[in-house]
């Protein structure tokens, strides 16, 4: 697995902070996209419960669609592939990176580029959305903490956009 680090991306080598908010790279983690029409079968293969409703999160797994989940788990976690079964379990750890926005001003910072009503997004919810024109997965981990998953090719731009918005 090629785990991108801040220096590789040329961004956020150190957290950027301002009064009430900070932006930093998320720690290394395992990222897996899960797809199946039969959630019970997939759950039994990976030996983990799957959230049933779109937007729900359970045990580090977010339901992003009627048959799609994103697992953000501790680095090195490998889920069973389900070979020969009608499921898809794909490690995408090298495709994306995480950015953490936290502090009392986190929601306002995320709202500078995201069309969702961030203040109304419940803690423990995740959704696919955009920041300006870049596709992201936004996960509200706590009242003042957001985890943003973005494809690594867009990460330098997104990091710069968040830092610029902090300075406005």
Nearest to 42 by CA among 95, 93, 90, 86: 86
Answering whether pTM is above 0.85, one says yes
| Rounded-to-integer distance, Cα 134 and Cα 151, Å | 9
* Strand 96-102 versus strand 21-25 pairing type: antiparallel
Starting at the edge strand found earlier in the chain, the sheet holding 68-74 runs: 57-58, 61-65, 68-74, 29-36, 87-91
Predicted local confidence at residue 9, as pLDDT:
53
The per-residue pLDDT for 10 is 58
Domains and CATH numbers, the chain: 15-28+94-166 (3.30.1360.120), 29-91 (3.30.70.1520)
Q: What is the pLDDT along the chain (168 residues), one digit of tens a residue?
A: 444 444 555 567 788 999 999 999 999 999 999 999 999 999 999 999 999 999 999 999 999 999 999 999 999 999 999 889 999 999 999 999 999 999 999 999 999 999 999 999 999 999 999 999 999 999 999 999 999 999 999 999 999 999 999 976
Alpha-carbon distance of 44 to 79, in angstroms, equals 11
């Amino acid at each position: 697995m090629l785990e991108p680090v801040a220096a590789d991306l040329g961004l956020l080598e150190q957290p950027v902070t301002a009064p009430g908010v900070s932006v930093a790279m998320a720690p290394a983690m395992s990222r897996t996209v899960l797809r199946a029409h039969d959630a019970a079968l997939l759950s039994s293969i990976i030996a983990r419960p799957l959230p049933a409703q779109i937007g729900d999160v359970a045990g580090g797994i977010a339901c992003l669609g009627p048959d799609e989940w994103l697992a953000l788990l501790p680095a090195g976690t490998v889920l069973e592939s389900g070979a020969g079964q009608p499921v898809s379990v794909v490690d995408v750890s090298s495709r994306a990176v995480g950015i953490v926005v936290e502090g009392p001003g986190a929601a306002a910072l995320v709202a500078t580029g995201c069309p969702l009503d961030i203040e109304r997004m419940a803690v423990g919810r995740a959704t696919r959305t955009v920041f300006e024109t870049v596709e992201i997965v936004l996960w509200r981990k706590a009242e003042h903490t957001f985890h943003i998953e973005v494809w690594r090719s867009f990460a330098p731009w997104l990091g710069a956009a968040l830092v610029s918005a902090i300075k406005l």
